[in-house]
């Protein structure tokens, strides 16, 4: 009975509140002190016992993954909604520009998500689970929405995409990867160049994947 | 006299050999133990005194920057040469594909440079000098060669590039950033998808920046 209990995270409204308090405390402490922060410090900040933290999350990696998942869900909600509207768009270029600007803004924002991204980058080679957690909740979490939008646009004849996988990566590459890479080395791309990259990236993408007029 | 001597790194053939031994030892130890490794351990591995290490480099950041510079120079020699040949090319697409494959291969290689890149990513926010050193010897070091190649191709009427800065970043973005970002989170892009990305990235870039036939 006890072994069973230890494996399942506690449930119910009180447990949910505790869980939320632990994730919130962990987010603040990971950001302040890095992944090396102790589970007892997190437990103390959440006003629960260390045993409760382990009952809920099992390990520090799992707790960190929960922190990532929460932060990325918040940050990707708006860009994912913008992608959803895209497939219904009359003016594809203008809707793509709009979705791209939302997406780039969320990637460039100086917030917990970007700080967590840099923390994952710093620790992913020592703790591969963190890198996988990020991939799963970030790029792969967003990826189905991007894939769905591109596939729907292709089905409706608005785009011609013979090979979907590179097309998805190219959209990320043209729009968000420059910001991730520059930020990684502690530099950034200014607002003006950011917008020139969005406009020219979308035009390049559309130029390549728009149906060619019959000749 | 002594203060003066301490500021200038030692010169001469014997000093150059010592410098080389220190950089080599530092490279191995940084890769094995991270940026936290002690200067005395590096001195011992290079069979010199800690004072000699400081006379040559002044600080651990400066020594790390010298390690980065050496490794990147080795790794970028081949792609930079391929870019140089590009501007003379008869068949622009095939030469661009060739240069792109060299470049992508050097970025994907599982060698000291990629390991150092991840180490810089891990430490750049705590030690901004490392991020700046990497930018200076890496992207910015390569950047003039890319800028020169694109500008020359534009001057000769082979490409039409109204805004050079985004074009440079887009070339990096389509070809190398996906590998840097995926590697960062401990995943990678397989050989087959890598080549589909190169071919389709180059075609997309050329489609956008090739001179349009008069209509």
- Walking along chain B (215 residues) 10 residues at a time, the average pLDDT comes out as 58 88 94 89 96 94 89 81 82 92 87 83 77 76 83 93 94 94 84 97 97 72
User: What residues of A are in contact with residue B211 (Cβ under 8 Å)?
Assistant: none
- pTM value is 0.84
Residues B166, A197: contact at Cβ < 8 Å? yes
| Max CA separation in chain B (angstroms) | 73
> Token pair of B75, please?
């790794």
Nearest to B64 by CA among B109, B112, B103: B112
Instruction: Give residue A113's pLDDT.
Output: 84
Instruction: Give residue A179's pLDDT.
Output: 93
User: What residues of A are in contact with residue B215 (Cβ under 8 Å)?
Assistant: none
Instruction: Give residue B29's pLDDT.
Output: 94
Instruction: Give residue B194's pLDDT.
Output: 97
Q: Which of A134, A177, A186 sits opposite B124 (nearest CB)?
A: A186
Instruction: Give residue B7's pLDDT.
Output: 63
Instruction: Give residue A7's pLDDT.
Output: 63
Instruction: Give residue B94's pLDDT.
Output: 94
CA gap B62, B46 in Å, rounded: 17
Work out the minimum CA distance from A30 to partner chain B, whole angstroms. Answer: 15
User: What residues of B are in contact with residue A210 (Cβ under 8 Å)?
Assistant: none
Work out the minimum CA distance from B17 to partner chain A, whole angstroms. Answer: 31
Q: Which of B121, B189, B200 sits opposite A163 (nearest CB)?
A: B200
Q: Which of B166, B185, B205 sits opposite A131 (nearest CB)?
A: B185
Residues B203, A202: contact at Cβ < 8 Å? no
Contact A132 B187 (CB under 8 A): yes
- Structural domains of chain B sorted by starting position, each given as residue range(s) with its CATH number in brackets: 1-58 (1.10.10.60), 68-209 (1.10.357.10)
Kindly write down the DSSP assignment for every residue of B55-108, as one continuous string.
HHHSSHHHHHHHHHHHHHHHHHHHHHHHHHHHTT-SSHHHHHHHHHHHHHHHHH
* Residues of chain A with a CB closer than 8 angstroms to some CB in chain B: 118, 120-125, 128, 131-132, 134-135, 139, 163, 165-167, 169-170, 172-174, 177-178, 180-181, 184-187, 189, 193, 196-197, 200-201, 203-205, 207-208
**Within 10 A of B137 (CB to CB), how many other CB atoms are there?**
19
> Token pair of B5, please?
């001597």
pLDDT lower than 70: segments of chain A: 1-7, 139, 214-215
Residues B116, B71: contact at Cβ < 8 Å? yes
Instruction: Give residue A214's pLDDT.
Output: 63
Instruction: Give residue B36's pLDDT.
Output: 86
């Amino acid at each position: 009975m006890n072994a069973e209990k230890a494996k399942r995270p506690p449930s119910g409204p009180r447990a949910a509140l505790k869980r939320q308090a632990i994730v919130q405390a962990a987010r603040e402490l990971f950001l302040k002190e890095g992944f090396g922060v102790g589970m007892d410090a997190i437990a103390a900040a959440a006003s629960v016992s260390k045993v409760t933290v382990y009952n809920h999350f099992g390990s520090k990696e799992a707790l960190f993954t929960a922190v990532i998942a929460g932060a990325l869900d918040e940050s990707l909600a708006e860009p994912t909604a913008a992608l959803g509207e895209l497939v219904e768009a009359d003016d594809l270029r203008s809707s793509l520009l709009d979705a791209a600007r939302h997406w780039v803004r969320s990637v460039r924002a100086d917030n917990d998500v970007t700080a967590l991204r840099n923390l994952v980058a710093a620790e992913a080679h020592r703790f591969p689970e963190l890198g996988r957690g990020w991939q799963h909740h970030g790029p792969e979490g967003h990826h189905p929405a991007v894939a769905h939008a591109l596939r729907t646009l292709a089905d409706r004849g608005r785009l011609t995409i013979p090979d979907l996988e590179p097309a998805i990566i190219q959209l990320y590459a043209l729009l968000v990867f420059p910001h991730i890479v520059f930020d990684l080395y502690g530099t950034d791309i200014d607002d003006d160049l950011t917008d020139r990259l969005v406009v020219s990236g979308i035009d390049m993408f559309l130029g390549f994947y728009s149906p060619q007029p019959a000749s």
